[in-house]
Structure 1
Amino acid sequence: MSDNVVPIKRAIGADEPSLSPILSLTATAMNSVNQIILQRMQSEIPLIPALAGHLIAGGGKRMRPMLTLAGAELLGYEGTRHHLLAAAVEFIHTATLLHDDVVDGSETRRGKEAANIVFGNPATVLVGDFLFSRAFELMVEDGSLKVLKILSSASATIAQGEVDQLTAQRKIETSEDRYLGIIGAKTAALFAAASRIAAVVAEKDEAAERALDDYGRNLGVAFQLIDDAIDYDSDAAEMGKDRGDDFREGKMTLPVILAYARGTPEERQFWEEAIAGFRDTDEDLAHAVELIGRHDCISATRERARHFAQKACDALAMFPDSKARRAMVEAAQFAVSRGY
């Protein structure tokens, strides 16, 4: 193993971190992945590609399939198996988004009307099921039982995390540990699996698999922490969804957990009423944002995200310096510096 140090901190005056290096690294392979996605979301039932395309064509960072592609580059893999698997990863992710928007009653996704608003809840759920099925078809085509085990396990973990989040909703007593467990399941599990399968297709050892798993898992936690901070720290135009969604849905995310823990008795009473669903006006949201700012909860959440991003970078230290490793490190840096 290498003794390389992979610092997340950047020099003063350095450019802001960007996804550009990892986008450039994976651009050619991502074109192939996008072609597979477009081919496999087709159906003789016109509603299926129309609804799937509404979300898939709506943009998004493609972070999860990008991790599969970047991991393959990092390990020097020269085949094409990872193209099918990256498409499978994106289908799993898209399916979960469709289902999430129905569960949450979301009105926007990636800056436009959510699929459930345009096409209705039943069709959105069923097309999500279709995309899950397509993902498993792609895994079976790949033929690796190990890959199938990793991605199917991640799919089950995501579903468990979503159910856990649902049962924690509107419960002010939700702890930071439980919150981290929820996001570790609902978000980080797919980041980890998407990264790990690159080592499987490249036929690397268990140590390489674990390192990429650790990278993806910690990156996923950092990514979700920043998402949850942004909900109280950014306007809807920048974020691509309604500001305050988490607040109105009574989700106990880290900024709220910290604000409640640090609040005065009067502030805690506000949070108890808000999370229970009795304080959900625009004025209440503005007060929530003010309380979170008063107790520096956004900075604290971002600091925790930096901790996990650093762990993601540290996981790459066993690999020699390369363009791919530098791009993956910068992706972790971007994850915690972004405003959208």
Structure 2
Amino acid sequence: MKFKNICVLGGSGFVGANIVRMLAAQGRNVRVLTRNRERAKELIVLPTVEVVDADIHDPVQLKQHFKGMDAVVNLVGILHEKTPGRIDKPMARRGDFQRVHIELPRKVINACVENGIQRVLHMSALGASGTSDSAYQRSKGIGEALVREAGLPHSDHENWYLDGPKFIHGASLYTTIFRPSVIFGRGDSFLTLFAGLCKTFPILPLANAQARFQPVWVEDVARAFVGALDNVASFGQTYDLCGPKVYTLAELVEFTCQTIGSTPRILPLCNKLSYLQAWAMEFKPGKKLMTRDNYYAMQVDNVCSGATMPGYQPAGLEAIVPEYLNESNPRGRYEGFRHRAGR
């Protein structure tokens, strides 16, 4: 069985663009919903991809654009809130995390049911938990739980069977949830950010220097999504996605600096100073580098401990990162020019 018509939310983003390209390469029809069609110009030229301007938070538009689809992939997520809220108190003001990570998955589920779509792939995050001290991880955990509860329990696996593009088993959704660690690759907001800091500052005060991560390559994440789409064994499952090695934040920053030939002094901060740095950065205008919510998230190791997909073999970052961070080599310069040109 092959799902032919796929609607992707967040398809113009870092992970989404890679997933859309892989789906298109398989000859699938992909509908990308985006608030800014110009951001998806590299996808518009793909022959089986339709890019549609849409307000994905509008249930009416979701229902309209889900018509004719066989499956939905929800990749939408944010790292920082412009409008903070209290997701732990229903009567309090709702913030961006609640709107994006909780209310949107609920709307997606409802729109799928209304259109008879039974296949849903959902992007969560490693560390997502409804009891986390981090509002980001807490909202991700609640949204993940909503999707999981809407899906068919894994215990009913033996009762699944197919009939054309739909499944015959009541109105249950056939969900797969992915929980990646931090994701790296050209255009990431993690190692590329540190590369810029390494070039700019002779001393880098580093909060949460001993926080542990297991970074995963964006293409490995995309392959996991695409590989799970038709795989019946993945229905009802939740998968952690990580690279092959665990690093401290300090080790990742040191590696990034060495890769670009920079030698700033990295100054690990104690727990109290880490919190104060995060608090101070919240008031910095423009793009946020760190917030207190990030500080809370990094108190828990961001490493894999749950189930991983059978056959999943991720690439190590040492083999990938120099290709896009180090522009002193011909390949790096070419990729740098290509990225700045938006190609």
Greater relative CO, 1 or 2 (CA 8 Å, sep 6+): 1
Q: Which one has the bigger strand percentage?
A: 2
TM-score normalized by the length of structure 1: 0.31
